[in-house]
Amino acid sequence: MTLEKKMKLLIGTNNQNKVREIKEILDREFPRKFVILTPADVLDNQINIEETGKTLEENAYLKSSEFYSLTKIPSISDDTGLEIEALKGEPGVNSARYSGEHSNDAENRKKVLNLLNGNPVEKRKARFRTVICYVEEGKTEYIEGICSGRIIEEERGTSGFGYDSIFVPDGYVKTFAEMTAEEKNILSHRGKAVRNLVEFLKTL
């Protein structure tokens, strides 16, 4: 397989924020090289896969392998965690449900800010880590992207999602939530992971 031909690629998630970010990056880096599909495009019913893994890698594999099994289309799924140094790597794999099984983004951000309350800048180091798992017949590959930065003391910005409004990447003053989609995609963990994914796809 080469990128000279359009290839089908299923983004194995129901999260439209993730779909949008991945599609924007692929379209910019390699325009007209992919037919991007989502589960809603090829499956009659919405599939919700429980993330029971203990690592980002395990959760990404659970999702991509299930979607490949259902569709037989090369599938990618990712899992992303915010790893905060002062919290010994938390929330990590539990980032989406840090303040409880049915918590939302705002509650998760509030918990992080409360736990870091009073910490000086040097004790607010953090990084986002995205792991993408690619699955097709006879092949499983893990691709990683990391963005290092820090957690600020209060939320700023209205774009993005998750922890974007409290995270500032190294070398910048804006949070991810204050950046345009183009700015964020250049710097972000998911942007780096998707570009690394494309480099992997070139080798197939």
Q: Estimate the crossing angle of helix 16-29 against helix 189-201, to 10 degrees.
A: 50
Residues in CB range of 201: below 8 A, 6 or more apart: 1, 3, 7, 134
Structure tokens at 64: 């991509």
Counts of helices then strands in the chain (DSSP H, E): 6, 7
* Catalytic-role residue among 41, 79, 105, 164: 79
Q: CA-CA distance, 41 to 154, in Å (whole number)?
A: 39
Residues in CB range of 6: below 8 A, 6 or more apart: 32, 33, 34, 35
170 tagged catalytic: no
For the chain, the maximum distance between any two Cα atoms, rounded to a whole number of angstroms, is: 54
Q: What is the CA radius of gyration of the chain?
A: 17
Which amino acid, residue 179? M
Beta-bridge partner residues of 147: 128
Residues marked as catalytic = 79
